[in-house]
Structure 1
Amino acid sequence: MSTSEKVLFILESNKDIYISGEEMAGQCSVSRNAVWKAIRDLREKGYDIEAISNKGYKLKGSTDIISAEGILAGLPKELNGAEILVYDSLESTNDKAKELAMKGGKHGTVIVAVTQTGGRGRQDHSFYSPEGGLYMSIILKPEMLSSTDSRAVTSFVGGAVISAIQELTGIESYIDGINDLYVEGKKICGILLEAGSEFDSNTLQWIVAGIGINFDSDISAFPKDVKERASSLFAPGQATITKNALIARIIERILDCQP
């Protein structure tokens, strides 16, 4: 981790609490000047950080920038060693996760993108993925699952997302069809499971679970055929939680309770 990343993790782990530059310097094993430079760097990236003399620095709770540090800060200690990779844009988080899975990516590796340029659902249907959404994929290893039945795993992942949303927001969603989540008759989430197997032995090697959620998306800007049946958890700018918090809770629900 760079100093900026370490400082961000500390701030994300202590939201709404002032942390002194001296304390952060000690935790990061750097000088207070290095902490100040890290704060400046984070502010330039859009983080809203307050500073008060004799109290220190505080990351405002309204800051909602997806980051590996922000996600890790929301995970329980037993999961804060998870490998989380965050990108500004990817063609598809599932494609990136599959690439890593084929290279031996470990169980629980998570790929997150702010936007997708080629997001897709089942049967290669496109999945519109602009800013305001939450797009993530997680690598699951068969030996870590009690069942590898496709419907069971899809249902389990869907249930994990439903539980995470309800716990953090109070919003009740439900599965309709095989892999879509709805709120009051409108789609807010799509789930796509893909897998890889060894050809000779026909042995399942890995599963990638892709999750796309309309978080605080501007539905009015969606393509006409999509916006008529889509909704979002929150209106733009009206979210009561951060994307990092929801991503962390989904990861926790998936990795804590295997199907």
Structure 2
Amino acid sequence: MAETIFPLQSVTKVIGLERVDSTQALAAELALKGEPEGTLVLACEQTEAFGRDGQPFYSTEGGVYFTLLLRPNKSEDVFPSLGAKMAGVIAQTLTAIFEIRTKATNEGDVLAWDKNAHKWKKIAGVLVQALHTDTEDWALLGVGIHLNNPLPASRKKTEVSLKQLIRTETSKELFLDELLENFWKEYSYWTRSAR
């Protein structure tokens, strides 16, 4: 397991892996072992990731997959809406950088307009899970974004990758840097506003 310090406001540690069953499951284990808030579990590929509906989340090499360990205050205004708010940040970041049409759903999906198919397709999903220990309440903020990964034919009717939309690969590192910077700005605002 490679660990590096990530130079962003509130990411305290990055645990970067080539392949993992699920960043969400690993993040839960790490929270129980005492990893600090702000730990980011990042993987190039997940083999057993699941979405909010319990269905497998397609997460092969080329996408961006991570889970962030957070301890938001217990305000009802922050925790339940965290997934939808993160989806909004993902949509805004994709639109700002790549000038594509996106929208976020209240459930935590991000949809992108596929002009060739003339319809909205899922490009990202957010899964927020609560983890309660004797001493702390955690939010596991899981994110999966189809960035450069190819999608199988069975998923192309409802899902799309950024590479399919803009016809070129993009830097996962630069995108993640921008996304997390935008997230921390919004997150600090949400948590301050909820107090």
TM beyond 0.5: yes
Q: How far has the Cα of 1:123 moved from its partner?
A: 3.3
Counterpart-to-counterpart distance in 2, 1:181 and 1:162: 6
Mapped pair 1:252 → 2:184: no
Distance apart, 1:106 and its partner CA: 1.7
**How far apart are residue 146 of structure 1 and its match?**
8.5
Q: Give the conservation status (yes or no) of the 8 Å contact 2:109–2:125.
A: yes
What is the CA-CA distance between 1:177 and the residue it aligns to?
Answer: 5.2
Task: Give 1:198 shift.
Answer: 3.9
Match of 1:83 in 2: 13
- Cα pair distance change 1:95/1:107, threshold 3 Å: same
Normalising by the residue count of structure 1, what TM-score does the alignment of the two structures yield? 0.62
What is the CA deviation profile of residues 234-256 of structure 1, one whole-angstrom value per residue up to 9, with x for unaligned ones?
139712x4101111122222222
Match of 1:97, SS state, is: helix
The aligned length equals 180
**Rg comparison, structure with higher value:** 1
Please name the residue that 1:142 is paired with: 72
Q: Which runs of 5 or more residues in structure 1 are unaligned?
A: 6-66
- Residue number in structure 2 paired with 1:192: 127
Larger RCO: 1 or 2 (CA < 8 Å, sep 6+): 2
In structure 1, how many angstroms separate the alpha carbons of the residues matched to 2:140 and 2:158? 26
Deviations 1:127-170 (A, max 9, x none): 011112111111111239884431x2112211221222223222
* Percent identity (aligned): 24
Q: Does 1:208 align with 2:140?
A: yes
CA contact (8 A) 2:65 2:145 kept: yes
Q: Residue 153 of structure 1: which of 72, 82, 86 is its match?
A: 82
In structure 1, how many angstroms separate the alpha carbons of the residues matched to 2:73 and 2:109? Answer: 26
Pairwise CA RMSD? 2.7
User: CA contact under 8 A between 2:67 and 2:142: conserved in structure 1?
Assistant: yes
Relative to its length, the structure with more strand (as a share) is 2
Counterpart secondary structure, 1:168: helix
Matches within 5 A, 1:68-147: 72=6, 75=7, 78=9, 82-143=12-73, 147=77
**Whole-Å Cα distance in 2 between the matches of residues 208 and 231 of structure 1?**
25
Contact 1:119–1:127 (CA under 8 A) maintained in structure 2: yes
Classify the secondary structure of the residue corresponding to 1:123.
coil
2:98 matches 1:169: yes
Higher helix residue share: 1
The verdict on how the C-alpha distance between 1:244 and 1:164 changes in structure 2, with shifts beyond 3 A counting, is: same
What TM-score do the two structures reach when normalised by structure 2? Answer: 0.80
- In 2, distance between residues paired with 1:223 and 1:177? 27
Q: How does 1:174-185 map to 2 (within 5 A)?
A: 174-176=103-105, 178-184=107-113, 185=120
Cα pair 1:114 1:131 within 8 Å, conserved: yes
